Structure 1
């Protein structure tokens, strides 16, 4: 039982997984939704499995098709852009935080259609502009730009979108 962390020995309420149990539970965990290796590694560590044992389980999940970082990156990008309306910068930062390789990030970012991206940016700018009760155009513009940059949209695109909104008087 050298693969178990010592804190589990001292806390009887936390029952660690055996290696056989871990394989079944991690397979179910990965089958439920797309996961990255870092999420699986964290889950295994929480259950007392780390080091070589954890890496062997992760390798098994990859070879059996339960774990695929490129597939995860594509699903993550689709979800965060399509549902949460995040911009490219925020999505890329989140993927980097999850230790996804640059090649997988690049593959995932291909899921974003540039035309749809621009439309979403304009929608978000318009929505935020309407929600603000700001009368001063400069303050309103600044607040909308900061909001959109915070959502992960590129500053140059944000500036162009806000300018287009002002010129079209949809602001």
Structure 2
């Protein structure tokens, strides 16, 4: 693909939604551009603010926390996979409200508890622990919510 055509196509993509550098670099390499051309386009896109990793991380964190109900561990892991720096990730997580993750964890565990068909309390607790961990929450946070559920007589 020609460099100018690739630039027009990639700017149209970036204008529609946020991308990180690794996503754009992978697209450009898939279009069989040379490494030098890819780096040239990347620098141009960053300078023109089509790509902004801080902005991307902020949108990613808000979307995954709000819509996917992911915890901080899973979000951090996925952002690291995309090659974002620890500072960018930390700043993005700081933009969320204080107790977003805690309320989502409790709501998710309550909903999961209603769906469980286990009679054995040990197996129910293990299922809830696995569920919380798979959503990206720390063991301590999950255990605290489970203690509250037990105190309410639900577990």
Aligned twin of 1:30: 14
Aligned twin of 1:42: 26
Aligned twin of 1:119: 103
Q: What is the count of residue pairs matched by the alignment?
A: 155
Whole-angstrom CA distance in 2 between matches of 1:80 and 1:69: 16
CA deviation after TM superposition for structure 1 residue 168, in Å = 1.3
Q: Deviations over 1:107-146 (max 9, x none)?
A: 1111322322211110011011111111111110111011
1:78-93 equivalences in 2 (<5 Å): 78-93=62-77
Whole-angstrom CA distance in 1 between matches of 2:93 and 2:101: 11
Whole-angstrom CA distance in 2 between matches of 1:146 and 1:127: 14
CA deviation after TM superposition for structure 1 residue 56, in Å = 0.9
Whole-angstrom CA distance in 1 between matches of 2:154 and 2:97: 24
Whole-angstrom CA distance in 2 between matches of 1:163 and 1:96: 32
Structure 1 segments of 4+ aligned residues over 3 angstroms from their partners = none
Whole-angstrom CA distance in 2 between matches of 1:112 and 1:141: 29
CA deviation after TM superposition for structure 1 residue 154, in Å = 1.0
What TM-score does the superposition give when structure 1 sets the normalisation length? 0.88
8 Å contact from structure 1 (residues 31, 66) kept in 2: yes
* Structure 2, gaps ≥5 residues long: none
8 Å contact from structure 1 (residues 89, 153) kept in 2: yes
2:121 to 137, 140, 143: 137
8 Å contact from structure 1 (residues 37, 69) kept in 2: yes
8 Å contact from structure 1 (residues 89, 154) kept in 2: yes
CA deviation after TM superposition for structure 1 residue 158, in Å = 0.6
8 Å contact from structure 1 (residues 86, 151) kept in 2: yes
Aligned twin of 1:146: 130
